[in-house]
Structure 1
């Protein structure tokens, strides 16, 4: 495939993880976006990324002595990583022009390809102080601030691309609904090209042909919705509401439905999530019909392989970076070599844990890892549903270490209380179970955790896990998962081969509390009867599971395969 024989794809995402020192992401969505662009660069896909600059980042997390979370800005040296481009455009908000400039970051692939990412910035002389802060903080402020950011991303992003000479883009990929207002700019372009001042149904069809949309969550809070009066005031145009078929949903602007209405291809991010999305995002009337496919997420293997594991693959499976599927041959790697590589990665994590917390973790003790955004449905506290049972379990099978990490959204009080609850379990679980909650979960800490623990724990309330990619990163490093059957794990779990399921097949539950009790019981039983005895007493069998996690899961759940599916299904149909 060459750049000259296929169209250009513009990939829009509110957050993109581009470099460990650039806090332009909050978590899984941004990490996935970065991994997607890195894989596209590896494959030579003609793609350009578009996002906001996020001058103050998401936030730096600190925990006080009680485990309560505090947030601080994360300013970074923009010029050290990005170069300013010689273009500016204006975006109208509340009938005033806001000047938008562009910075460029270049992704360099393992094959020498370069992929540009455009970061939009309103901190420009001539803008008001308030307007200059619109590209400061990821997911900051109130609804009005968020809507203004999404106007800059969608409308400003398209205008910047045009100003840079990208007239030939034939696919606009919306990574979540935050970027859906790019469709409004494309509608206006289509109408103007036809000599009309307002868009019509033909323009809608034109735009649909050029857009595709990936939805990432069945959780309502993940779908941005704005009151129509706020939208009309902020956009300062009422003509869009004359087309209720596209822009209005139950008396508000729902960015997910806007993206659905303006896309020719829509997908969820795992097979189960596709099913859930088809049930949740049902047509609202006879004018709408949403066909929702699925493309299961992956991770960028070169980015997430621990140095010791990468060296191991280089020795036994040269070319794995260029052909991720070659990791299916990991079963040929001697088990003891996998173990040595894992121990090297584990020692790095143990050193980090002990340096930051003084907890006294030991490399020879079975270690569980859990690191997700701290929010109620991810149920980070499931392991402590019955603390006495967990302590007794550890006493019988030998000691356990548990590493937690994850940020709560600044407005998520329940998530903050969840962190505090886990944080305060530490002393009561000693000496049988050592627990640590590491501050400021980010890209670099994620690499240590997903490669350094012995088992990756994941406990969401089904069916709210859209995909999840942290367990994929762990599998790449030979770390099996112990997870609820939801998201990607439904596809990746081969019981006792790639990991273990927390599941009572065929069980029915009257409420979430009953489900919680069932899942906790299954978690304890699986740890006690299957996982921990195998780790301590059957090393050869454990090493086979580690090898299968790499061979079966890492060879498939990667962004190289994922991007190839987008190319075939969404970009070049």
Structure 2
């Protein structure tokens, strides 16, 4: 936080806003995070063996790692060689808005003091961030700078690796695409943080005693086959009921806060049913996430919500201040709220935060993920849902492209399409058909013991196949064996 008395009035505003539109203020944030972050570590007596840059926000950190050599007069490229040996980089998104570029003048002004302090040539820094270093008209890209300043680079899923290689291949002119040095370490989630208490207690009873310390071992999860149908379904129902209770209280407060009409507020107190299939869609409300697939065919949506095998949908998230299309998608959703069934079966929770996210991934039966391929780098909300027995209905993009096996959830096509409107029409139809023909029958169908046997079979398949592959334990082991390995 730069809002401290020791800073001048301009400096105090640097961290005043997370999504800062002003280029020079944004660049000042990068200097603070990258250079200031390394200096803060040193002030604490910490000299990192490996500096792991996540996205380009800390792309200037290698400058500080190389500060000694720069002050001794070494050229920037030479000084960065030693820093590069200690730096690894992870790219988290192919979306252009997540790979910022800035005019040369803005970069020069924002980093002028740093250049004087470290005695490097500003033109050398600008070249570091250009895809074509010799092109002085090209803006400075923080992702390009991070890629050039790191000994290792990785994407965050297997499919994202191919997307990232294609996206950044021009930094290695003449290289075959398969040799572009960007690998992948698929994301994972911290199981103890995201698993609900009922599910944790159930797995404690049926898995090995130390299962929570061995989540990356496939043998750990085989014990889910020993769980009785009645127990597994009871836990699913308990976590759904906890979510319904939370949604009713929270949505009343949200609708009052938004100044909604009385009937709509009163409907919130009756919202949701503990026995109805519950779908979750909660994340950043970005255009490429395609929230509008849920409202593109209002008649089909209303039929899905109000049929004899109904669904209820909880939505939460925040749109980027500059993502106008995402904000319009939210407006279209609220435009349907006049229908009684919408008021009682669809809620949008304001002020989305980690606590709300935890409640949703624990209580939802189905996690929806509808990105436009190939823009989903990974996604982690669905992984959190998995650990709670939730099933996925997802486009085959990001993590789901390598996770789906035909038995552990449901999938929508993941092909890249040059006709986005046509793709949205087809995917909307495919989503509704999938819900009608497969998801609803599995949830509401009952076997001889009065339980949804097909649903429980998929729950077990999901836990067994995805639990070990998408835990943070597995992810960290791969980083240790890969990007972090052979640190000087």
TM-score range, shorter chain: 0.7 to 0.9
* 1:265 aligns with one of 113, 137, 152: 152
User: Which residue number in structure 1 is paired with residue 188 of structure 2?
Assistant: 298
TM-superposed deviation, 1:329? 2.9
* 2:28 aligns with one of 131, 148, 167: 148
User: Which residue number in structure 2 is paired with residue 76 of structure 1?
Assistant: none
**Cα distance 1:198–1:419, how it changes in 2: closer, same or farther (>3 A)?**
same
Gaps of 5+ in 1: 1-120
Given that 2:282 and 2:317 are in contact with CA atoms closer than 8 Å, whether structure 1 keeps it comes out as: yes
Q: Find the aligned partners of 2:127 and 2:193 in 1 and give their Cα distance.
A: 42
Map 1:470-489 to 2 at 5 A.
470-489=381-400
User: Which residue number in structure 2 is paired with residue 417 of structure 1?
Assistant: 328
- Give the number of aligned pairs: 446
Higher strand share: 1
Q: Find the aligned partners of 1:522 and 1:551 in 2 and give their Cα distance.
A: 27
TM-superposed deviation, 1:553? 1.0
Q: Deviations over 1:360-395 (max 9, x none)?
A: 211111111111211211001212221212333455
Q: Find the aligned partners of 2:212 and 2:298 in 1 and give their Cα distance.
A: 43
Map 1:66-145 to 2 at 5 A.
121-145=1-25
**Cα distance 1:323–1:235, how it changes in 2: closer, same or farther (>3 A)?**
same
**Cα distance 1:537–1:247, how it changes in 2: closer, same or farther (>3 A)?**
closer
Q: Deviations over 1:212-234 (max 9, x none)?
A: 00000010000121211111112
TM-superposed deviation, 1:327? 2.8
**Cα distance 1:287–1:514, how it changes in 2: closer, same or farther (>3 A)?**
closer
Residue 376 in structure 1 maps to residue 266 in structure 2: no
TM-superposed deviation, 1:200? 4.3
TM-superposed deviation, 1:556? 1.3
User: Which residue number in structure 1 is paired with residue 225 of structure 2?
Assistant: 331
State the TM-score, normalizing by the size of structure 2: 0.86
Residue 558 in structure 1 maps to residue 471 in structure 2: yes
**Cα distance 1:400–1:261, how it changes in 2: closer, same or farther (>3 A)?**
same
Q: Find the aligned partners of 2:343 and 2:13 in 1 and give their Cα distance.
A: 49
User: Which residue number in structure 2 is paired with residue 248 of structure 1?
Assistant: 130
**Cα distance 1:245–1:510, how it changes in 2: closer, same or farther (>3 A)?**
closer
Q: Find the aligned partners of 2:15 and 2:374 in 1 and give their Cα distance.
A: 33
Map 1:136-535 to 2 at 5 A.
136-167=16-47, 169-192=48-71, 196-236=72-112, 237=115, 239-242=121-124, 245-249=127-131, 251-284=138-171, 286=173, 290-317=180-207, 318-324=209-215, 325=217, 326-357=220-251, 358=268, 359-394=270-305, 396-428=307-339, 430=341, 434-495=345-406, 497-503=407-413, 509-535=417-443
User: Which residue number in structure 2 is paired with residue 569 of structure 1?
Assistant: 482
Q: Find the aligned partners of 1:256 and 1:499 in 2 and give their Cα distance.
A: 34
Q: Find the aligned partners of 2:125 and 2:279 in 1 and give their Cα distance.
A: 52
**Cα distance 1:122–1:360, how it changes in 2: closer, same or farther (>3 A)?**
closer
Given that 2:157 and 2:185 are in contact with CA atoms closer than 8 Å, whether structure 1 keeps it comes out as: yes
Given that 1:246 and 1:261 are in contact with CA atoms closer than 8 Å, whether structure 2 keeps it comes out as: yes
Higher helix share: 2
Q: Deviations over 1:304-353 (max 9, x none)?
A: 00111111122222322211132343222222212211212111110111
Give the secondary-structure state (helix, strand or coil) at the position aligned to 1:530: helix
Given that 2:337 and 2:343 are in contact with CA atoms closer than 8 Å, whether structure 1 keeps it comes out as: no
Gaps of 5+ in 2: 252-267, 447-451
Q: Find the aligned partners of 1:437 and 1:356 in 2 and give their Cα distance.
A: 10
State the TM-score, normalizing by the size of structure 1: 0.74
Give the secondary-structure state (helix, strand or coil) at the position aligned to 1:266: strand
Give the secondary-structure state (helix, strand or coil) at the position aligned to 1:321: helix
TM-superposed deviation, 1:205? 2.1
Q: Deviations over 1:465-503 (max 9, x none)?
A: 0000000001110000001110000111122x2110012
Cα root mean square deviation, aligned: 2.2
TM-superposed deviation, 1:404? 0.8
Q: Find the aligned partners of 1:220 and 1:166 in 2 and give their Cα distance.
A: 34
